[in-house]
Structure 1
Amino acid sequence: MNTQINPVIEKKDNLYLIIIGILSVAVPVLVSVLFYLPQTGKLGDLDVSFLPHLNAVLNTCTTIALLSGFYFIKFKKDARLHRMAMMVAFCLSSLFLISYVIYHYQGPHTIYGDINHDGVLDIAEKSAVGIWRTIYILILVPHIILAAVVVPFVLFAIYFGISNQFSKHVKVVKWTFPIWLYVAVTGVIVYLMISPYYGA
């Protein structure tokens, strides 16, 4: 039996792995930098106030696509529909990332509990929201961490799937699917919790 690896395939794999590695570092770094940049107006008068609402829709649709993909492969054994659903989820998540970056580059920073939308959480506001702010943070922090962690997992899962490396694909998606689903679902929850504090 010939167990040698085709050098063309190996070279192609290495190229894609390098690209995945670069993206896996670049995306979280880019998102992190946005939190330290001065807020608002870097794109002139561009109105991005609708983007958080769009992001919630994208996360909701991503959740539906992920669950559909799971259903198609687990219960229907339909690889074609599974692949289609997962590519839809990937495209929706990519659109979300673009929208998220634009909003945080251009829009104002929103603080949970900032009732008067002045960008400051005073003692009275903090007291008014009470334990809900703690609950919000407990949901938000793992959401942010896992959103960064899931990037390489998703890229590997997609690559192994489209390159027909199914044994590797199955191993990766055992971790990818629950993390990706958690990030999508909690993205909607975070939006619903903070949406009352978005400015006019």
Structure 2
Amino acid sequence: MKRALSRSDKIAVPVIIALSVLVPLIVLALMYLPARYNFLGIENGSFPLFHAVLNGSTAVLLIIGYFFMRIQQYKLHRNVMITAFVLSSVFLVSYVLSKVSNEPVPYGGDGALRYIYFFILITHIILSAIIVPLVLFTMYRGLTGEYEKHAKIARWTFPIWLYVAITGVLVYVFMFPYY
């Protein structure tokens, strides 16, 4: 039997779906801007380091949050995961600003490292689009007290989000010589 959507679901679910579609489309569109508008005056190399710090911090917080969940410290788990979400949101805004402000920097490596880099980059990009709805639904279900649904989706969200955070740092490491 199909469950009727709750009052909050009738608002939250369409918003989450809209954001899940719009965010990747906006990022994709920004990659193909005909001109850049560096209205903040920030140098190209500043954004990648900041993004790597945000991604690395998010990865650490995800692991800490997982630990707190495993030892049933749910309030600490919630607070750490909200912090990871905030850092990821700051990353997203900063990433959009960086794409508006600066031309993309091409990868200059060759040989086996080139293949490794592009494998990491492509999986990172694909999974970063997939992680948007997963994180939003996981956060929503946790914050609304729907813990069974939260746990069910978090089983998928956690490893994908952790992979995206770690590979974000790896992309920076690979690109460091070219910034």
- Tell me the TM-score normalised to structure 2 length: 0.94
C-alpha separation in 1, matches of 2:82 and 2:40? 34
Query: 1:51: which partner in 2?
Result: 47
Kindly provide the CA deviation profile for residues 15-39 of structure 1, in whole angstroms up to 9, marking residues without a partner as x: 0001101100010000110111125
Query: 1:121: which partner in 2?
Result: none
SS in 2 for 1:43: coil
C-alpha separation in 2, matches of 1:48 and 1:59? 20
Give the deviation of 1:44 after TM superposition.
3.9
Matched, 1:78 2:68: no
Kindly provide the CA deviation profile for residues 117-146 of structure 1, in whole angstroms up to 9, marking residues without a partner as x: xxxxxxxxx6xx222111100110010000
Matched, 1:179 2:160: yes
Give the deviation of 1:48 after TM superposition.
4.0
Map 1:184-195 onto structure 2 (within 5 A).
184-195=165-176
Matched, 1:145 2:126: yes
* Structure (1 or 2) with the larger CA radius of gyration: 1
Query: 2:93: which partner in 1?
Result: 98
Query: Where in structure 1 do 4 or more consecutive aligned residues deviate above 2 Å?
Result: none
SS in 1 for 2:56: helix
Q: Is the 8 A contact 2:30 2:96 kept in 1?
A: yes
Report the number of matched residues: 176
Kindly provide the CA deviation profile for residues 88-134 of structure 1, in whole angstroms up to 9, marking residues without a partner as x: 10000000001111001111210110xxxxxxxxxxxx6xx222111
- Tell me the TM-score normalised to structure 1 length: 0.84
Q: Which runs of 5+ in 1 are unaligned?
A: 114-125
Larger RCO (CA within 8 A; separation ≥ 6) = 2
Query: 1:123: which partner in 2?
Result: none
Q: Which runs of 5+ in 2 are unaligned?
A: none
Alignment identity in percent?
A: 43
Aligned-residue RMSD, C-alpha: 1.5
C-alpha separation in 1, matches of 2:86 and 2:176? 24
Residues 159, 134 of structure 1: alpha-carbon distance in 2 compared, 3 angstrom cutoff: same
Query: 1:38: which partner in 2?
Result: 34
Partner amino acid for 1:69? G
